Amino acid sequence: MDQKMEQARAVLASRFGYDAFRPGQEAVVSALLSGRDVLAVMPTGAGKSVCYQVPAVVMEGMALVVSPLVSLMADQVRAVQEAGIRGAYLNSTLAPGQQAEVLRRAAEGAYDLMYVAPERLADPRFAEFARTARLALIAVDEAHCVSQWGQDFRPSYLSIGQFIAELPVRPPVAALTATATDLVRRDIVRLLGLRDAACTVTGFDRPNLRFAVERREPKQKLARLDAFIDERRAESGIVYCAKRATVEEVCDHLRERGIAATRYHAGLTAEERERNQRAFVNDTAPVMVATNAFGMGIDKSNVSYVVHYNMPGSVEAYYQEAGRAGRDGSPAECLLLWCDGDIATGRFFIEQESTHEGLTAEEAEVVRASRRRMLESMVGYCYTTGCLRAYILRYFGEGGHDEALPSQGGATEVAPYGGAGAGGANLLDGAACAPDSRDGHAACDPTLRRGGSWSALPTEENSASSSAKRCCSNCDGEFEAVDVTAEARAIMRCVQALRGRFGKTTVVDVLRGADTENLRQWGLVNLPVYGTSEARRALLMEVVELLAADGYLAITEGKFPLVGFGPRYREAAEPDFALRIKQTPKVRKGSAAKPPKAARPGAADLGAADAELFERLRALRLLLAQEAAVPPYVIFHDATLAAMAAARPATEEELLALPGVGEKKLATYGKAFLEEIASVPEATEVE
């Protein structure tokens, strides 16, 4: 085993140019080399691909990588080939003759690793090939897609476990993901059939990311986006929108303002998506406006901000998308703009979602129920007045439990009514899997069922939270806290009087004393709480959502949600109960909040001459990338270019010593970069 790990370290140095593994990588590589299954949860940019690429070179046979990223497979293969690894991909973009050639060469042992989509595993011809091939390992990328509790559930992933189980010789299996709650992790183990799986969780915290949440009405969002991007004109970023039409509107608006923006959504042709994606990766169009169809697997290290123009459907989706900023470790900004309409849109998407292919109607409803709970957690994130980073980390099971997380849809029985409360029954395993309201952990039986097993293994944690500096907009006090305790108490009294039988619109109408036929017909005008509040309708609606997000109320699932008491409802009757709501300052031109600037590697730490060299190296890299028809990151990442600019190597030996410069890349690109470095004089010191 020690000999294999020495080989792995040698491969890491010679092929990837690094002297040591990053946190978590070595544990995963060691487990795979010893023949053990692995579940690796590592944040975006932590180097998950190295965890299977290095063993693919060391082990005998071929590594099979299952990935949903068909459009990126060619780039991924080019990247490993640049590192001197024999790679191939097999997907629908290849002609039948090309596919047959790839399989023939794979059978002859021509590849170290091969990328395939999960749908490929159901192809009888491929299954026959796999039964006779010598597989060193199977790596399942984006493994959270197998879980119905995850944000990216894909039914095609459900066939992976059966494919593995039917292999005559079962290789070790690595399941890798960037964002997975404890519940999703357990689902991955069970559905992929992992055996005695070593679990490596390197921590979810991304200390270089600063989080900000602002409530902005639709008419205010463009102005806020303008102010934000104007401060970052020289930087690259992503703007996520919920709808295709919004993508078009925002992209057109930015272009009219002279910003080089491009767009990406499922309504574009494959050729347009490919062209726009390359323009973004190559920095021809440094701003990408997109739906959530964009981003998974994009290896662009210099993204310095991510703006969510609309609220995403889950904390998992938000953190995965926000995590595409700052992959190089530099400070980066993550701004979320939201309004009540975003919540309504999220609920509409959930209810209009058609039955997933391969699932029964009951199973599809379980998926929708999970989506509803995830949306409520996202609403809680927007409303919280506490630390945004801490909220996210607690959601994924890290950090303390000093603040309550949302109940995510579970309701509590309210005395004296004694009914089922506002929650109702969960389908299938839903009741066992509802997250605990206090810390976001899954309150499920630790015994795993139906196929998988996982032992109590050491988990590598790195959950040290960052300092308050640059932490989030809440910690920086970028909002006004408005006391809504009186409104909250009135709402709680009204909900009790209505006995959990009505929705929030009726709750607010009763409190405001609305004169409607429905209220008269139902006799609600005779309730003691009728007409007891003079608060604005919009404020009362907002307080209902906040009470639900904090677990005092619970809103049932389904097309006609009802409002009942949540698990924390008794706390609202305590004398010291208080509730505050965030009120974001209005946007004024030129007065937008200016958090610490995000900077690319080198920009903050390099002198003027070195910074100039850094930019020239980036220009050289782009030229070489265009000549080779590959994304720039395939040649060198920005962090490696920054190291070159700082160290100014003069020989091949000095260049090879820098992180990210392997022997293959040195032979291919070393001369060009050394010549460029030599052409820029160093700054002279002035006494």
What pLDDT digit, counting tens, does each position of 522-545 carry?
Answer: 999 999 999 999 999 999 999 998
For the chain, give every domain's residue range.
2-201, 209-405, 480-583, 608-679
Give me the pLDDT at residue 335, please. Answer: 98
Mapping DSSP onto H, E and C, the string for 223-267 reads HHHHHHHHCCCCCEEEEECCCHHHHHHHHHHHHHCCCCEEEECCC
- The secondary structure element, H or E, covering residue 361 is helix 361-383
Give me the pLDDT at residue 227, please. Answer: 96
Give me the pLDDT at residue 43, please. Answer: 82
Residues 499, 506: contact at Cβ < 8 Å? Answer: no
Give me the pLDDT at residue 180, please. Answer: 85
Return d(Cα 308, Cα 242) in angstroms, integer.
9
Q: Give residue-wise pLDDT tens across range 631-668.
A: 888 899 888 999 999 999 999 999 999 988 989 899 99
Enter the DSSP assignment of 75: H
Say whether pLDDT at 515 is over 50: yes
**Residues 488/492/497/503 CA torsion (nearest 10 deg):** 80
Q: Report the interhelical angle of 537-549 vs 361-383 (nearest 10°).
A: 110
Strand partners, 66: 116, 140
Say whether pLDDT at 517 is over 90: yes
Lowest-confidence region among 321-335, 385-399, 564-578: 385-399
Q: What CATH superfamily classification does 608-679 receive?
A: HRDC domain (1.10.150.80)
Say whether pLDDT at 199 is over 80: yes
Rg (CA), the chain: 27
* Mean pLDDT score, 67-75: 85
Lowest-confidence region among 8-22, 139-153, 216-230: 139-153
Return d(Cα 663, Cα 551) in angstroms, integer.
56
Say whether pLDDT at 251 is over 60: yes
How many CB atoms are located within 10 Å of the residue 330 CB?
23
Say whether pLDDT at 500 is over 70: yes
Query: Pick from 91, 102, 61: which is nearest to 156 by CA?
Result: 91
Residues 6 or more apart whose CB falls under 8 angstroms from that of 145 comprise 68, 118, 152, 153, 154, 157
Say whether pLDDT at 46 is over 70: yes
How many CB atoms are located within 10 Å of the residue 647 CB?
14
Name which CATH class applies to 480-583: mainly alpha
Q: What's the Cα-to-Cα distance from 249 to each of 38, 240, 241, 252, rounded to whole Å?
A: 44, 12, 10, 5
Q: Give residue-wise pLDDT tens across range 419-434.
A: 222 222 222 333 322 3
The CATH number assigned to the domain with range 2-201 reads 3.40.50.300
Q: Give residue-wise pLDDT tens across range 383-413.
A: 888 899 999 999 888 754 333 333 333 322 2
* Mean pLDDT score, 334-351: 91
What are the start-end ranges of the E strands in 241-375? 261-264, 287-290, 303-308, 332-338
φ, ψ at 267 (rounded to 5°):
-80, -10
Q: What's the Cα-to-Cα distance from 67 to each of 126, 300, 330, 513, 624, rounded to whole Å?
A: 15, 18, 28, 56, 28
Residues 38, 9: contact at Cβ < 8 Å? Answer: no
Strands 553-555 and 563-565: antiparallel
Give me the pLDDT at residue 602, please. Answer: 45
Q: Which CATH architecture has domain 209-405?
A: 3-Layer(aba) Sandwich (3.40)
Q: Give residue-wise pLDDT tens across range 662-681.
A: 898 999 999 999 999 999 88
Give me the pLDDT at residue 362, please. Answer: 83
Amino acid at 131: R
| Cut 0.85: pTM above it | no
Lowest-confidence region among 2-6, 132-136, 202-206, 598-602: 598-602
Lowest-confidence region among 33-47, 81-95, 392-406: 392-406
Say whether pLDDT at 417 is over 70: no
Fold matches, 2-201 and 608-679: no
Give me the pLDDT at residue 633, please. Answer: 80
Tokens representing residue 590 in the block: 């030129």
